[in-house]
Amino acid sequence: MYRTIPRYDPTYRLADIFAALHLCLTGNPAGRLAECLRRLLVTKHVFLFSGARVALYVLLRACRRPGRVLVPAFNCLAVPEAVRYAGYTPVFVDVGHLSVNMTAETVRKAISSHPAVIVITHQFGIPCEVVNILDLGRQHQALVVEDAAAALGARFQGRPAGSFGEATIISFHVTKVIAGGRGGALLTNNDELAHNIDSFLEKAAVPSERCWGSVLRAAAWRIATNSRLYPAIQFGYSTLRGEQMFEVVPPRLEMPPGFLATCSDFSAALILRQLDRLPGNLARRRRLGQLYTERLTGHPCLTLPAIPEGCVPSWIQFPIIVADKQGLYKHMQRHRVDLSWTFRYSCADSFGLNGFPNARRAAETVLGLPTYPSLSDEQAEHICCAIGSYRPDLNVQDGENG
């Protein structure tokens, strides 16, 4: 009855791709997007790049305080890599117990290393304890910036995530709140920092990402996730990549060619097309988040991560913690649901560092349920029912029979 439910579905439609192409030809979408983001997020300065990792790299170069940078260990490996490319040393912060985020407690442990910069991260769009971490940063004279790559529209104690730090990065990767194929923004109200960013961009003569590359990537994602092709493509992709659900992935230590680029006009146009729909997009994600919370609280085989008081997440996915990650993943595959593996590594392991047990456990136990706006209530119910029928002991029998 159900076709496979993909783990991701980009927020743009085919019509948006055509409209974005048209917008590219008729005038300056990147300039217009920067202006719209300035107004929407009430920020003085906005710079657009080909990804949030690039925005972080430029931010750190412009900070001109070489030293240590605190980042969470349960994180996208691209983040500590960008820290390295910028000439800084990543220092990892464990995530909290049964949490996907750093906490004031885990930051306190890591801060004795006297970091130059703290990157407050809102993983999967779930705000972390911003205010307490900000206080710690102030006490230690560290520059506090926010990784709100996944948290566009999220709120903490009534204020937008991304409005707390000296600067903020946001991602428009295809898996994020607004999918632009690829793209990232760097926001700040700090004039001096903005001036430094301007001079860096001028000196480095940063090129724009090629338009056609981003058109093809956006179209490929649209086709791969929104058709009967998905199971075959997903199978082919996972076979070719040969990735394990938990593994130690070595970091890339040299900046790859073409890394440093501004947002393509096409991606900017595709994002611009979707800004008006942001309130509906977020409302839909929150509705799904609420549905999952209601249906899955108290399930004997899984735990929902701790979320601090006063958080309104933007849910780019809905994380759940399960002892046998592989077992539940396979169970869901049999029910035609492809869950996200979230991170299959701890970045601390990647850099050969011990002592981050919660991050390793998160990598071994956290799966992500889909929350993209095109997911219907009926599909979400199907996902909850399928999870409801999961019993690890029965699963062993499944394996024996099949």
Ligand X SMILES: *Cc1c(COP(=O)(O)O)cnc(C)c1O
The contact set with ligand X (CB under 6 A) reads: 51-53, 76, 78-79, 121, 123, 147, 149-150, 171, 173, 184
Closest residue by beta carbon to ligand X: 51
Least Å distance, CB 202 to ligand X, is 23
Residue with smaller CB distance to ligand X, 58 or 149:
149
Least Å distance, CB 119 to ligand X, is 9
Give the count of beta carbons closer than 10 Å to the beta carbon of residue 117.
Answer: 27
Give the Cα separation of 161 and 166 in Å (integer): 12
Give the Cα separation of 337 and 327 in Å (integer): 13
Least Å distance, CB 359 to ligand X, is 14
Report how far apart, in Å, the C-alpha atoms of 111 and of each of 70, 170, 293 are.
8, 24, 33
Residue with smaller CB distance to ligand X, 262 or 331:
262
Using alpha carbons, select from 120, 104, 216, 122 the residue that is nearest to residue 166.
120
Q: CA 114, 125, 81, 188: dihedral to nearest 10 degrees?
A: -70
Query: Is there a contact between 120 and 133 (Cβ–Cβ < 8 Å)?
Result: yes
Give the Cα separation of 37 and 279 in Å (integer): 14
Least Å distance, CB 374 to ligand X, is 20
Q: Side-chain half-sphere of 173: how many Cα atoms within 13 Å? A: 19
Least Å distance, CB 295 to ligand X, is 25
Give the Cα separation of 140 and 298 in Å (integer): 40
Residue with smaller CB distance to ligand X, 150 or 369:
150
Least Å distance, CB 61 to ligand X, is 16
- How many residues can be counted in the chain? 402
Residue with smaller CB distance to ligand X, 43 or 50:
50
Q: Hey, what are 229's tokens? A: 């092709």
Query: Is there a contact between 83 and 56 (Cβ–Cβ < 8 Å)?
Result: yes
Residue with smaller CB distance to ligand X, 5 or 149:
149
Give the Cα separation of 134 and 53 in Å (integer): 22
Residue with smaller CB distance to ligand X, 53 or 360:
53
Residue with smaller CB distance to ligand X, 57 or 292:
57
Least Å distance, CB 347 to ligand X, is 11
Residue 7's SS3 state is coil
